[in-house]
Structure 1
């Protein structure tokens, strides 16, 4: 007895069958959540066209590690400016953002 397994891809938007060569994998992020879509070339073009006004107005975010700074440096910076910050634990985002803006 022989057996053959076939993988079938489908467009995530309209559920039409796709061959592997037709499928476009779209990766995007919104509000910190990353999503994946498997789309036909036509639906991928629609997706890109719908996002175009937003992408054109946006700026590219720095890589997460590109702006990473030693937490003790941020704490020292905050203290020298009279901003209360705990000696341990997570530094509030508002302080990190202020540090990044001041040191951009």
Structure 2
């Protein structure tokens, strides 16, 4: 393994850590902006939460109707970060396959 490969792996992992931390922070902000008198979880949401088909951050599971306007804005940011993280992961895996072959 040469220095280019090590550097790429470290950069890729650091990017994943940054995106994960960003999504967790926005998820926290979503859960802090629940509308008064609303709950953030319905019983059917637990089935979706434990689905292993697709990884999603916690802020995506709250119904937008249960949130304030600020909470909906943070939920959009969680979704954007989720999409960016998926593309970062797939792109990094393709680049790793090319770099290590």
> Considering the TM-score relative to the shorter chain, is it more than 0.5?
no
Pair member with larger Rg: 1
* Bigger relative CO (Cα 8 Å, ≥ 6 apart): 2
Greater share of helix: 2
Greater share of strand: 1
Using structure 1 for the length normalisation, give the TM-score.
0.23
